[in-house]
Chains A and B, each alone.
Chain A
């Protein structure tokens, strides 16, 4: 007879094997890994200071996680002082309740890509509450239409080739869309334009937050986040509490290392948002909501991060910048993409699954999928030692299952 954990393993393995024999995934990953390595190599050649900057960022992250509670409190004060509103969610349920209390029902929401959003499944939750929610990142938009889940944290629809995109778009837009990438992009642009200007809320995540100024920094290339956070009358940001660093200068360092190891010399856009839109042009009277949002809400989410910070070995998991470099280097990921994952993907995803989204039982198959080969550590800008954390999680799993 199978135990529940064996059933989880069995279902997971079936998915994994299916992915491994999917030619689309194989081809897409093969191309993606090659261009990731080429791009990162040339980005680091053009900006060689990045390697040393990454060492500085590791020290910044160490210090920030040590002072996580204090920095979150300071960031909240700063944002409030900028006339934004802040909230603290201990759990996933708290975060979802806060978001839906702000947004309500019957509203249109346009959303930028957020890994925390995936962790919380916030889109699904808001739709369930009777809202119309649109992912505006092209990759996420494709996945939303396919009812699919992200296969990479930076390039979520890495596994969907243009022919399949054309098929999904043709069905959704109700007119023929050719498998021509430029035309596919144009179709989404046209559709979302309308949504941006009718939306009640714009939603985003954040790559890093500066405690001293309350600035949240969002790196992007498409320009969708710029519109999502700039056009609708209200901006709601979801932020993991591990994202806060002491100063604005340090936030910039974290951001630069993040995008460079995500294979960009420089991203198309770096958004820095510290409060609602305002003007004092008429009689020096400050008025909010000049061109951009009149309200700025930031929800800080714990959901297991504090527990992770309390464990000496696992604390380093919170240093993750989400550049996604480790995934391209992972031999398993290269075969099956995000099927080696739950809400969070790859080896580092196994750690986050255990602590933040999924629990030890859903983490277990991931924990045992990791080869512990260690190449992710070579790539990681902050040298996160995933193999050591994996072996400790295996010990924990055995301690739970075999203690009787």
Chain B
């Protein structure tokens, strides 16, 4: 046996990592959601596929309810080695564990599915309302590959990034607005190192709103009155250094009082999301800890800015039965418009 063969035989990562990797490579999405599943929110909106600004969901908000459903299903199925069998990915799960993807789809509560799949729609509506024109890749859109980077599969990422970059290039966009800070981070900090000539301007949804709001003298519509607490997303606060934009937007809303968690801004506490794949128990405990920190502020509502934060902290609040509600910032802004 060649040295490489021996090494790879003895040095494999847990299956879940492999499954996510192959889902991204094969289906363009960590949970193997298909194009129509990711893009259904845009049906009837007739968004153009070309334009100066590209609206990018990466399918990340859309896949959230399926992650939790998979974790729940696998926890029930396989108590013994659950850490290694969660999140196998719908299609792969069907092959490996004999669970049908359709059953899993069915097990996701309709209200959850609707809530998360509506988020891209709401984000689009907010940006439209603030006067931004943009294009969208629709069913062609694929995931940024951030998890390939996180898990160490850089060769795969390089190939995947070429595909993503070429799709982006075909839209003719000069600016990309990302709903997930993880996508923004990888486009901004990693893609330029991997893809020659990748020079697109990258913005998070928050930055886009912040800039549009500045141009709108009339202030921002707000459908909420009460106390909110900001859960800064790690990558957004530390890598992308976006903290004050959020507070400035909220300061424009008269009926909103912003309370600060003790651990906030660059000192924010992680939601536990990153370890959901390999260490779901630890992940869930970290989420509960964060829910506790946020509730302590006495706020009525937690605001999140990332799909994984949204899912983790929301679950942390439910698990600890905290008396506080959670909305993603996109949902929060949409209320004022709807």
Contact = CB atoms under 8 A, between A and B. Distances in A.
Nearest to B275: A371
B285 A20 contact: yes
Interface stretch (B149-157, B170-178, B191-199, B208-216): B149-157
Contacts of B274: 371-373
Nearest to B6: A404
Contacts of A394: 150-152
Interface stretch (A10-18, A89-97, A298-306): A10-18
B332 interface: no
A400 B279 contact: no
A331 B270 contact: yes
Interface string A235-276: 000000000000000000000000000000000000000000
Nearest to B283: A371
A401 B7 contact: yes
A143 interface: no
A377 interface: yes
Question: What secondary structure prevails in chain A residues at the interface with B?
Answer: helix
A246 to B, nearest CB: 33
Interface stretch (B10-18, B133-141, B159-167, B295-303): B10-18
Interface string B231-272: 000100011000000000000000000000000001111101
Contacts of B17: 368
Nearest to B288: A335
Interface in A334-375: 334-336, 361, 364, 368-369, 371-375
A144 to B, nearest CB: 28
Given A332-B275, A373-B234, A398-B151, A10 B4 contact: no
Contacts of B275: 332, 369, 371
B238 A378 contact: yes
Contacts of B281: 16-17, 20-21
Contacts of A361: 11
Contacts of A181: none
B84 A401 contact: no
B9 interface: yes
Contacts of B5: 404
Contact of B13 (A331, A332, A375, A401): A401
Question: What secondary structure prevails in chain B residues at the interface with A?
Answer: helix
B238 A332 contact: no
Interface size classification for chain A? 35 or more
B12 A391 contact: no
A5 B12 contact: yes
Interface residues of B, number: 41
B266 A378 contact: yes
Nearest to A401: B11
A402 B12 CA distance: 7
A391 B149 contact: yes
A111 B76 CA distance: 49
B194 to A, nearest CB: 12
Interface in B78-132: 81, 83-84
A3 interface: yes
B217 interface: no
Interface in B12-59: 12-15, 17
Given A391-B150, A404-B4, A335 B12 contact: no
Nearest to A336: B282
B270 A3 contact: no
Contact of A6 (B14, B282, B285, B286): B14
B84 A5 contact: no
B324 interface: no
B10 A3 contact: yes
Contacts of B73: none
A4 B152 CA distance: 19
B4 A331 contact: no
Contacts of B4: 403-404
A99 B314 CA distance: 54
B15 to A, nearest CB: 8
21 contacts: A9-B84, A13-B83, A16-B282, A21-B281, A331-B290, A332-B282, A335-B282, A368-B151, A368-B278, A369-B282, A371-B274, A372-B150, A373-B238, A373-B269, A373-B274, A375-B270, A378-B266, A391-B150, A398-B154, A401-B7, A404-B4
Given A391-B152, A398-B153, A402-B8, 17 more contacts: A6-B15, A331-B269, A332-B282, A332-B286, A368-B13, A369-B275, A372-B150, A373-B238, A373-B270, A375-B268, A375-B270, A391-B150, A394-B150, A395-B154, A398-B152, A400-B11, A401-B13
Interface of A: 3-6, 9-10, 13, 16-17, 20-21, 331-332, 334-336, 361, 364, 368-369, 371-375, 377-378, 391, 393-404
